[in-house]
Amino acid sequence: MPRREPCSPPALPSSLAPSVDGLFWHRDLVGESGCAIFCLTNPSGQPARYLKHAPEQHVGDLIDEYVRLQWLQARIAVPGIGGFVSLPVEAWLLTDAVGGCTAYELLTTGTMSERGAVVDAMADHLRRLHAIPPSDCPFTAGAELRLALAKRRMEQGLVDQDDFDEERQGETPEALWERLVRLAPSGTDQVVAHGDYSLDNLLFPSGQPVTCIDVGRLGLADRYQDIAIAWNSLGEFGRDLQQRFVRRYGIVDIDERRLEFHLILDEFF
């Protein structure tokens, strides 16, 4: 499946137009954020900018991403911000393109040794992110908040049960909700969590630090929120790489209950 396709430029706010003049437009086919994502390439075909366009119902999500990108700039590698426009009915976020491939692309094409190096780099990057002092972070994204949002999405009929992971296919959102309530941890080990630590949200630019994108869910949360999504994403490439990831991160015995809780919780989003 192609990851992007050429497209015509959409109508842009006048303040952003000069920043994309002369670039070629491609629609991203991978992102599932509810926003339209465009890759803008230079004449040689290399990505130069990325542009997210949020319709009215996702304006708040794009504002969340913008303020978190601002906060992260001096703390960990993230794309630079090229511009932001927010209106009542839509919003636009322009960021600098980061070179290199995603973790998913590298794992798909790499040798076993190369895959191991990618997984090690992911674990090292996640440790650095989780080492940011929680007292510095103004954003909340913990289980209590996400459970409230999950329940609201279930009640509004917004949970796509056809998109559940294979092991939960055939289950209803209501049945999963009952399991979530039973599994909810009594305490949390809060860190600055990315919130969607998947393979397509990690870029490996040559000679530069691993860079994370799509940071709109970032905030204080249990570290297993990130570990669970990374674990699940790595499942396509085998349990050995999953176990290598958690060992490199620093976990000797994975907490299966916390892992299951966060994997089920993610099904609601």
Please state at what angle helix 224-234 crosses helix 239-249, rounded to 10 degrees: 150
Q: How far is CA 133 from CA 123, 142, 215, 248, in A?
A: 18, 16, 17, 21
Amino acid residing at 262: H
Identify whether the C-beta of residue 44 lies closer than 8 Å to the C-beta of residue 67: no
Coil, helix or strand for 25? Answer: strand
255 tagged catalytic? no
Contact 209/243 with Cβ under 8 angstroms? no
DSSP state of 114: H
Closest CA to 231 of 216, 213, 209, 251: 251
Which 3 state secondary structure label does DSSP give 251?
A: coil
User: Which of 95, 103, 106, 109 shows the shortest CA–CA distance to 47?
Assistant: 95
Six token digits for residue 141: 């994204």
Catalytically annotated residue among 196, 214, 222, 226: 196
Q: How far apart are CA 240 and CA 256, in angstroms?
A: 16
Maximum Cα interatomic distance, the chain, rounded to a whole number of Å: 55
Q: Which residues are catalytic?
A: 196
